[in-house]
Amino acid sequence: MTHKTVRVLVWADIDEGIAGMVRYLNTIPGVTTHASCQGTIGEGGAEPYRPQVMASWAPESGKRLAEEFDITPMGECWGYLHPREGKPRTSIDELPAVRSAISFILDEVARRRCDSPGVADCVRCNSIFLAKKMKEFLGHAAGEGDR
């Protein structure tokens, strides 16, 4: 029997050297990360390997992943994703992921409804207002105009 599923934010212990990539991948619609390792290149050992994230993805996400990462396919729409060789990753590369994560959180806040209508200083109502204003700001900052 297959049950209906929903996506939830899960905290996991991720190798520090690959955590930014895992964080970023989890903001891409249709991508699910399953395992990761920052790799062992430069650490010695008989068989060093590159940083990698095992992931599965929707077919429509495959093109974007192929443009941004080296892929070792393991089957249809799943495999190991690696940072591009020679492409420096800096914190500025993660700005789209931060923006996407903030947007997701604000959407969740805005979905909630006040159980006590008429209360002017309701924290939840103020949170909804703040979420809408922050989403407007994020849209303008990205040059998207009003949402």
* Domain locations in the chain as residue ranges: 19-87, 93-141
Question: 39 CB contacts (<8 Å, ≥6 apart)?
Answer: 17, 18, 48, 49, 50, 51, 52
Read off the pLDDT band of 147 (50, 70, 90): very low
Question: Does the model's pTM come out above 0.75?
Answer: no
- The confidence score (pLDDT) of residue 92 equals 43
Read off the pLDDT band of 142 (50, 70, 90): low
Read off the pLDDT band of 78 (50, 70, 90): very high
Q: 22-34 pLDDT, tens per residue?
A: 988 988 889 999 9
Contacts of 19-23 with CB under 8 Å at 24 or more apart are 20/89, 20/91, 20/93, 20/94, 20/97, 21/51, 21/53, 21/81, 21/83, 21/89, 22/53, 23/94, 23/97, 23/101
